[in-house]
Amino acid sequence: DADVTQTPRNRITKTGKRIMLECSQTKGHDRMYWYRQDPGLGLRLIYYSFDVKDINKGEISDGYSVSRQAQAKFSLSLESAIPNQTALYFCATSETGTTDNEQFFGPGTRLTVL
Amino acid sequence: AQKVTQAQTEISVVEKEDVTLDCVYETRDTTYYLFWYKQPPSGELVFLIRRNSFDEQNEISGRYSWNFQKSTSSFNFTITASQVVDSAVYFCALSEAANFGNEKLTFGTGTRLTIIP
């Protein structure tokens, strides 16, 4: 079974709808991250969390919110989706106490906002 | 601030040719980590290699090799005898040392590699 899972894997929605993307991990890592990938722009950090009570904005947090419900779960919400939020979204985890910040990625969620 | 540049947006080579993907980075830290990831057409990210700033030894893994040169701030990736299965987008990434509050991974914009049969 995959260590980092994301649901849904694909989602098509309409402008103005509220959308939640979920991430779960069985790696026991404290740190979790949400990225979005756009063609030609690589991966950009949206939010990250170093433990259950810690939430931090990343490079492009506007229009998004997150919830860290438990060590293993980190959800990303789009309160009112807009077309330019169409992208591939990745969740990642890493272990506290390491120095190299190796991150382990989920399979991605492809979101289309019409 | 840290930055990763992959100047090659797209590369196409004929199968069995060698190909090198360039990665240039910027950081103020003396301790940092560099990564390469592969993203095949299916979309997932596949970890390929991690290298720390104190280890400038080149690495070879099968048909893959990596050339790390601190003098030019480069961490280039070479595929020897390319195969169609190597077709993917390749990302280089940088992480500065795990000082509190600074453990973020910065990605380059990726290089799309197409291997022509």
Sorting pLDDT into bands at 50, 70 and 90, what band is A103? confident
CA atoms in the 13 A half-sphere facing the CB of A12: 1
> Each residue of B37-71: pLDDT tens digit?
999 998 899 999 988 888 888 888 899 999 999 99
Decide if A110 touches B, using CB distance below 8 A.
yes
Q: Rounded mean pLDDT of A3-15?
A: 96
Give the model's pLDDT for residue B105.
Answer: 85
Decide if B10 touches A, using CB distance below 8 A.
no
Best of A41, A90, A96, A101 to disrupt the B interface (most B CBs within 10 Å) is A101
> Measured between CB atoms, which of B31, B45, B95 is closest to A90?
B45
Q: Compute the count of residue pairs across chains A and B with CB atoms less than 8 Å apart.
A: 55
Least Cα distance to B88 among B64, B65, B107, B114 occurs for: B114
Contact present, B111 and B13 (Cβ < 8 Å): no
Sorting pLDDT into bands at 50, 70 and 90, what band is A39? confident
* Residue B113: Cβ within 10 Å count: 21
Give the model's pLDDT for residue A19.
Answer: 96
- What's the gap in Å between the CA of B44 and the closest CA on chain A? 5
Place of tokens 């169609």: B84
> Does residue B101 have a pLDDT over 60?
no
> Does residue A14 have a pLDDT over 80?
yes
**Do B44 and A48 lie within an 8 Å CB cutoff?**
no
Mean pLDDT of chain B: 90
> Each residue of B63-96: pLDDT tens digit?
999 999 999 999 999 999 999 999 999 999 998 7
With beta carbons under 8 A apart, name residues in chain B contacting A95.
Answer: none
Mean pLDDT of chain A: 92
**Do A102 and B45 lie within an 8 Å CB cutoff?**
no
Give the model's pLDDT for residue A41.
Answer: 85
Contact present, A49 and A66 (Cβ < 8 Å): yes
Provide the pairing of β-strand A4-7 with A19-25.
Answer: antiparallel
Q: Rounded mean pLDDT of B108-113?
A: 96
